[in-house]
Structure 1
Amino acid sequence: MKEWQTSGKLPEEMIGILRMLNREPVHWKKINIDNVMDFAGHHRLFPQLHRSTEHLEPPEQWKQSIQKHVMQHTLITLQLAGETARAADFFRTNNQRLLVLKGPALAQFLYGDVSARMSSDLDMLVPLEELENAALLLQQLGYKERPYFSKKLPDWKWRHHHLTFYHQDSGVHVELHWRMHPGPGREAGFEKLWKERRYVDFGQSNIPVMGTEHLFAFLAVHGARHGWSRLRWLCDMNELLKQDIHWAKLEEILGDQKLIAGTALALCQQLFHRQLPEETASWMQSEKVMKITENTMFYLSRKVELHAEVVPEYVSKYHRKYLFSLLSVRRKLLFVSSFLYPYPEDVAILKMPKSLYFLYIPIRPLLWIWRKTKKTAVTQ
């Protein structure tokens, strides 16, 4: 028996889903189909379950339920694939570089089928210095920006990592990135990613994506940032492990984030019985990796929605600690020191001309205390 089957940390629905994904015998009558479909929807797993259960001969009720969900989401995915090609072609025509991060392009890259992975939006990466031009091109395609942060201070360039756009007619959302992840912290620059890019065949369009090693690092950090709260992300990692990966190069790319990659590998090994190359054995041997892997079960055992309008306090508190545990000592120091840099909220409290914005840095702790005091007074 595998660890996840005996740990008691995963509900029966998740154990059933993992058995299906691993094409192991399933006790169909012992698990509730509605509950399993609910978990599968949360974890965005209908295409993967559909492919796996074809080999398990499920009861007709199960087969029909999975097929129904797959058909619904295939239509959405095909629409996103069309928008991906339209945007990539338009950007190319206007000499605007971009890399497509996830969505149907990732499905094609990993699974060889744009509909083999559920997607809800498009993620595109461009250089920061070309961000304004890329945003204008999206607007020409009919997208409107939906601002969600202030640009009063230059901190937005490293605190945040994307702009959001919405197409009123198609309903498609686009995240236009200039960083792969929110800061603070260093990551591979666009020029390096562009130099080592690969292309995904979309029929009449070729979609530029990151090279295999950079994609591995990106997906590992992205999944970890979200606590692997969607099992789909670990399915992607497991599928990516079938690619020819240059492990020494990946180790260099990861730098002080090798801990995160080690955790992703350990989870793939435990959940999907993935056989891993000898080069990665040392990545998973530390007590810290084992601890973080165990802590990830908090998310996999629940339907955690980190992007919900209201996130339960116990989830927020747990997630803050979880994220901090992923950081190296250097990144922890950088993260803590970033709180000393002023926020737009500080500008709203104490207005100063731009020529004096540097003064926000020394008085930032006082403004933070003032805001906390005012908040406490209001809630009492």
Structure 2
Amino acid sequence: MDQRKTEHRSRDERGRTAERFVVDCVRAAIGNRRGRFDWVDADLEWDRVVALATKHGVSSLIVSAIETHSVQNVPDSHLQTLENRTKYVSQRNLRLFQEVATLSAAFQNEGISAIPYRGPVAGEVIFGSVGRREFGDLDFLVSRESIPDLRSVLLERGYDHQYVLETTGDLTENQRWAYARFSRDYAFVHRTEPFEVELHWRVVSRRFPSTIDLGTVWERRSTLPVAGTDVPVLGHEDRLLMLCVHGTRHRWERLMWLCDVCAYINTQSFDWDTVLERARRHSRERMLYLGLAVADELLGVGLPETVRRAIDRDPVIDSLTSHVRNRLFDEATYWHLDTKRYQARTLDRRRDRVAFWIKGAIEPDRGEIELLSLPRPLVPLYSLVRCFRIGRATLNRLLTPTKCGEKRNE
């Protein structure tokens, strides 16, 4: 028994050492730490290093740190795996960068306003290189009124709708109306190319207060020349706030999102009074503070004293920061309700937290809207469908034994 405990403890320690190596590499790559890797040896759990690099989207940053700081004792096979991943990501990103320029030009030709606010443009703006930042799809911030025109452009360019339910065909007019009212995005996938596009008319769902939309940021945009097209990009203060909102909503589950925040602060100048004022106006102060606090604790980032004092005044930030830190490398699976409880805690005001739970319980999600088409006068019936689906999922969850490694409570 003692031997098994010792072996288990040894595996845990090697796993934590792999996590330390990954964090040290990304800190060195984004300039927040002097590179000292003389502690690294061949006994490091290199399979876990590669797995973490892939999961957290930081393979290119790790390769950069290894090469820049001449890290010794890295097995050739694992280094080759990281380099191959980096090369693949770079080549894919270049193709998608070109697609962003192509779609932006097509939208502009139709007189449609749209800002690509994540994806390859973010990589270029934040890191100065489109190849250093991994991403999945192309996200455009658009106005809800322009969705029909945008849909026509994308369909003409070889894209089809991508729905939550695999059985969903084309939506009816009533479903599209409900989609625009209750949802926040449309997803499209290219018929022949590995391109996915999401059109967002809200940055977060209606459950969250005071949405950030295209009208909020359009007048403050700048442009980035890409393949002969002036692609609209977010202003610095708007992008930083959106980075923190996005990462906080997703519990900062990927180290890459924290790298975005740190690298952006390292390379750009910000009007911090403006950042704080916009966060306050949109009821996003705690989301901003959490992103900055976690980024500073894990990776180190230079924050003005006024910002640090604002973070320190929030009584919940320390608890949320510990929660994020403890979950960052945790492989356990958590119940969906745990995520919702965490998201509610990131809201600034009590009334916003109450509204979050009420809307989550009764407002339809995309799945309910795709499930059936209701005439507009009967749209309130979607709430009954929502409650039924939540109740069924909860009952199934309670009747299903908890699997090994799965947690129902935080």
The TM-score bracket by the shorter chain reads 0.7 to 0.9
CA contact (8 A) 2:139 2:200 kept: yes
1:260 aligned to 2:277?
Answer: no
Q: Which runs of 5+ in 1 are unaligned?
A: 1-7, 305-311
Q: Give the counterpart of 1:28 among 32, 40, 57.
A: 40
Cα distance in 2 for partners of 1:236, 1:377 equals 38
Q: CA RMSD in A?
A: 3.1
- The amino acid across from 1:251 in the alignment is L
Q: Give the counterpart of 1:44 among 47, 57, 75.
A: 57
The aligned residue for residue 168 of structure 2 is none
Equivalent residues in 2 for 1:1-380 (5 A)? Answer: 11-23=16-28, 24-26=35-37, 27-29=39-41, 30-59=43-72, 61=76, 63-148=79-164, 152=175, 156-157=179-180, 159-184=182-207, 185-242=209-266, 243-255=268-280, 256-285=283-312, 286-303=314-331, 312=333, 314-328=334-348, 329-339=350-360, 341=362, 343=364, 354-357=376-379, 360=381, 368=387, 372=391, 376=395
Deviation at 1:347, TM superposition (A): 8.8
Q: How many residues get paired?
A: 361
Cα distance in 2 for partners of 1:13, 1:165 equals 37
SS of structure 1 residue aligned to 2:83: helix
Cα distance in 2 for partners of 1:134, 1:16 equals 44
With over 3 angstroms needed to count, the CA separation of the structure-2 counterparts of 1:78 and 1:353, relative to structure 1, is closer
Output one character per residue of 1:38-94: Cα deviation in whole Å (capped at 9) or x when no partner: 100000001222222222202362543432221121111111111111111111122
With over 3 angstroms needed to count, the CA separation of the structure-2 counterparts of 1:236 and 1:354, relative to structure 1, is closer
With over 3 angstroms needed to count, the CA separation of the structure-2 counterparts of 1:336 and 1:155, relative to structure 1, is farther
Runs of 4+ in 1 over 6 A off after TM superposition: 344-352, 377-380
- The amino acid across from 2:52 in the alignment is F
- The amino acid across from 1:83 in the alignment is E
- Calculate the TM-score normalised by the size of structure 2: 0.79
With over 3 angstroms needed to count, the CA separation of the structure-2 counterparts of 1:238 and 1:148, relative to structure 1, is same
Q: After the TM superposition, which of the residue ranges 131-140 and 201-210 deviates more from structure 2?
A: 201-210
Deviation at 1:138, TM superposition (A): 0.9
CA contact (8 A) 1:42 1:303 kept: no
With over 3 angstroms needed to count, the CA separation of the structure-2 counterparts of 1:16 and 1:144, relative to structure 1, is same
- Calculate the TM-score normalised by the size of structure 1: 0.85
CA contact (8 A) 1:85 1:202 kept: yes
Deviation at 1:158, TM superposition (A): 5.1
SS of structure 2 residue aligned to 1:287: coil
CA contact (8 A) 1:259 1:283 kept: no
SS of structure 2 residue aligned to 1:64: helix
Q: After the TM superposition, which of the residue ranges 10-19 and 332-341 deviates more from structure 2?
A: 332-341
Q: After the TM superposition, which of the residue ranges 63-72 and 281-290 deviates more from structure 2?
A: 63-72
SS of structure 1 residue aligned to 2:68: coil
With over 3 angstroms needed to count, the CA separation of the structure-2 counterparts of 1:252 and 1:155, relative to structure 1, is farther
- The amino acid across from 2:259 in the alignment is C
With over 3 angstroms needed to count, the CA separation of the structure-2 counterparts of 1:80 and 1:299, relative to structure 1, is farther
SS of structure 2 residue aligned to 1:216: helix
SS of structure 2 residue aligned to 1:182: coil
With over 3 angstroms needed to count, the CA separation of the structure-2 counterparts of 1:73 and 1:355, relative to structure 1, is closer
The aligned residue for residue 3 of structure 1 is none
The aligned residue for residue 309 of structure 1 is none
Cα distance in 2 for partners of 1:109, 1:365 equals 44
- The amino acid across from 2:40 in the alignment is W
Q: Percent identity?
A: 20
